[in-house]
Structure 1
Amino acid sequence: MVNVLKAKERTSERRSQVRELREQGGIPAVVYGYRIDNTPIAINMGDFMKTMREVGRNGVIDLDLEGKKLNVILHEYQEDPIRKEVIHADFLSVDMSQEIEASVRVELSEDAEGLKDGGVLQQIMHEINVTAKPDEIPEAIKVDISHLGIGETISIGEIRGKYSITINHEDDEAIATILTPRTEEETEEAGEAAEVSGTDEGNATTESEE
């Protein structure tokens, strides 16, 4: 599904104008790639958030830059750490007939046999790098871990055949594993080791201050 996002070209990168744009509900952005040079643009925050909710992180957007139509994907973005608002966005213009690389988040199924027996889930890979045509890039790669027991791991090779896209990882790279639960004795030993380490660091600091 292609969604339209309107944009205007920015003529200045001065901080005062960027700040004014944000105060008016806009986002400073840039678009580059297929059929366009690196171009500063401005988009509306509300329109951007609505579009991203509809298409997802890797979805194709129909960017209308003052009448010029481009197929783009959100390449990178910056977020305000406090307000959690997008403060800058980079859009990559793409040729729909050509494959591109993208990072796709990993979505694990909720339950695994090993968890019922007290095992601990360790997700090793949170994103998977893939190559595909822009409109074939999935929003997420879903990995079924329901069969995993304690001490078992699921790797790239076990999911490769479930997707028609190219997965740019080796077959033996681990996605997730179910760890053996720590015994009470191991937990206590780890706690004691941490206390000793903290004491040693404190002594070292005292000695250096002296």
Structure 2
Amino acid sequence: MSVTLKAIKREDHARSTTRNLRESGQVPAVVYGKDKETKSIAVNSIELVKTVRDEGRNAIISLDIDSGNSVDVMLHDYQMDDIKDELLHADFYIVNMGEAMDVDVSIRLDGDAPGVKDGGIMQQALYEAKLRVKPNAIPEEIVLDVSNMTMGDIIIVADLPKSSEYEILEDDDTTVATILAPRTDDDVEGIENENAEPELVGEVQKDKNEE
């Protein structure tokens, strides 16, 4: 299910016009896609941020351009003003609802692992997985149950939940999460010894000659 976002055509690309757009709460943007003509538009900044926050970054957006010409898009990229924390520009990619595409989907660990209760440290090595999936079947996230993980256990991509609606493109052997044993005093001491500067043979010989 897609959400609707209203947009207006943008004909004038002068800096003054672009600045006025931003000051009025609009974000300059472009819409493009495979074998599609690139169009310059503007959308309401607050509405765009709210849509992405509520629906997720992989949300399918029905972009209503000047009330009548709607296209299904995804937010492909955006630029931010880090100082003002404001949107400067957005790129929308036109999607084919019947054609699979490659997207990155977040991986969330769920459950209380016995290994953590025993003092182990949960380490997540992979936070996103690339999927090949049709736009209307993109999952909001992949939930990985870790409630059976004990100390030293490793979960790899091959262990992620399977679905007939998508294909996971990551290597099966890629580590997703593991529970590490806590470091002991001996481990810390060993690391300190490894980092100690080696004694220089030349310096030792020099000291002996000086005696």
Shift of 1:192: 7.4
Cα distance in 2, alignment partners of residues 163 and 153 from structure 1: 25
In the alignment, structure 1 residue 25 sits paired with structure 2 residue 21: no
**8 Å contact 1:112–1:147 — kept in the other structure?**
yes
Query: 1:132-151 maps to which residues of 2 (within 5 A)?
Result: 132-151=133-152
Q: TM-score, normalised by structure 2?
A: 0.82
Identify the residue that residue 184 of structure 1 maps to in structure 2.
Answer: 185
Shift of 1:160: 4.6
In the alignment, structure 1 residue 118 sits paired with structure 2 residue 101: no
Identify the residue that residue 72 of structure 2 maps to in structure 1.
Answer: 71
Change (3 A) 1:149 1:15: farther
Shift of 1:23: 1.7
Shift of 1:94: 0.8
Identify the residue that residue 4 of structure 1 maps to in structure 2.
Answer: 4
**Helix, strand or coil: the match of 1:161?**
coil
What one-letter code is carried by the residue in structure 1 that aligns with 2:9? E
Instruction: Compare 59-68 and 10-19 and name the one that shifted more.
Output: 10-19
What one-letter code is carried by the residue in structure 2 that aligns with 1:9? K
Shift of 1:148: 1.2
Percentage of identical aligned residues: 40
In the alignment, structure 1 residue 38 sits paired with structure 2 residue 57: no
Shift of 1:75: 1.3
How many residue pairs match? The answer is 196
In the alignment, structure 1 residue 102 sits paired with structure 2 residue 103: yes
Identify the residue that residue 47 of structure 1 maps to in structure 2.
Answer: 47
Shift of 1:79: 2.8
Cα distance in 2, alignment partners of residues 97 and 185 from structure 1: 58
Change (3 A) 1:133 1:162: closer
Structure 2: gaps spanning 5 or more residues: 198-211
What one-letter code is carried by the residue in structure 2 that aligns with 1:2? S
Change (3 A) 1:153 1:82: farther
Residues 148-191 of structure 1: CA distance to partner in whole angstroms, max 9, x if unpaired? 11111111111252563111012111111111211123235546
Identify the residue that residue 90 of structure 2 maps to in structure 1.
Answer: 89
Identify the residue that residue 200 of structure 2 maps to in structure 1.
Answer: none
Change (3 A) 1:191 1:83: farther
In our comparison, the structure showing a higher alpha carbon Rg is 2
Cα distance in 2, alignment partners of residues 163 and 145 from structure 1: 22
In the alignment, structure 1 residue 156 sits paired with structure 2 residue 157: yes
What one-letter code is carried by the residue in structure 2 that aligns with 1:146? S
What one-letter code is carried by the residue in structure 2 that aligns with 1:95? N
Cα distance in 2, alignment partners of residues 150 and 81 from structure 1: 41
Residues 75-109 of structure 1: CA distance to partner in whole angstroms, max 9, x if unpaired? 12223334443332211111111111111111111
Residues 1-48 of structure 1: CA distance to partner in whole angstroms, max 9, x if unpaired? 221111112224444333322221111211111563222211001221
Cα distance in 2, alignment partners of residues 189 and 12 from structure 1: 66
